[in-house]
Amino acid sequence: MGGTRYNVSKRAAKAMKEGYASKSVNEIFKQNIERRVHKSMDPNGIDFREARDSEVHPNSFPIVLGLDVTGSMGHIPHDLIKEGLPKLMGGIIQNGVPDASLLFLGIGDHECDSYPLQVGQFESGDDELDMWLTRTYIESGGGGNGGESYLLAWYFAAFHTKTDAFEKRNQKGILVTIGDEPNLRALPASAIREFMGHGQQTYSQLELLEEVQKKYEVFHINVCHSQRAIQAETGWKEVLGKKCISVEDYKTIPEVIKNLVCDTYKTSKTSIKADISGVSFDDIDML
């Protein structure tokens, strides 16, 4: 995946033709009418999603974006398809990340929802990213159980993604979840088996965070549009510190993500250069 380029102008023309600005959520997100996950985004049986280098993108940089699709958060994907996604991708490219490869995840509640995890593909082109975003089922579920399953995004990224950035360049990607609830404290093996088709181990949030941080810089955007969301900030900051970013206006989310991606990318490039400069010829096996 990721063999096409993002064209902001072409995407703007498409948005006008499709009427994204005026269509309702259900008119754009057709899975809402069917009330089920799109078969291509069902995680059951998926081994890996891969972000690989290509001729078009020789230095692919993986971005995993976990969208909370429970009841209070369905407007976020809707805003992304209307105007947020081209702002995000255009800004990333213009600010020096030409080979961004973006994977959408739909996140719900594994204790309450039928489809708490939905999985796209790593893509770079405007048509492909629109396709995966609009295939997402905004289940609008969740429950009164004290949180949502953002841990599923951590689990999938940690164990079910492969990237050339990490494997070839020892470069971490970036994972950003967006929501307004606390993180559920554990992901049981039974839930992993139910939704992935396999899974033998129960993970605490700290165990999963340690695993996913091996390959990704992990952030959470807390959308403070309710008192509960404001209260959720405390728990997120205890786990992620400054990597939990709270916003009051959801319209600012594309700009926040763009800044996180660009800053993370620049930092990772600096780290790679430092690693290379620290290697002497004596450290290299000469064949």
Q: Please tell me the predicted confidence (pLDDT) of residue 72.
A: 86
Q: What pLDDT sits at residue 279? A: 42
pLDDT value at residue 103: 98
Provide the pLDDT for residue 15: 97
* Ranges of the chain with pLDDT below 70: 1-2, 273-287
pTM over 0.95: no
Tell me what pLDDT residue 2 has: 64
- The residue type at 283: D
Q: Which residues contact residue 117 at a Cβ distance below 8 angstroms, ignoring those fewer than 6 apart?
A: 43, 105, 106, 107, 108, 110, 149, 152, 153, 156, 195, 196
Q: Please, is 255 exposed, middle or buried when counting C-beta atoms within 10 Å of its C-beta (0-12, 13-18, 19+)? A: middle
pLDDT score for 284? 32
Q: What is the pLDDT of residue 126?
A: 98
Tokens of 150: 């953002």
d(CA 90, CA 85): 8
Contact 69, 107 (CB under 8 A): yes
H or E segment at 221?
strand 216-223
> How does DSSP classify residue 80?
I
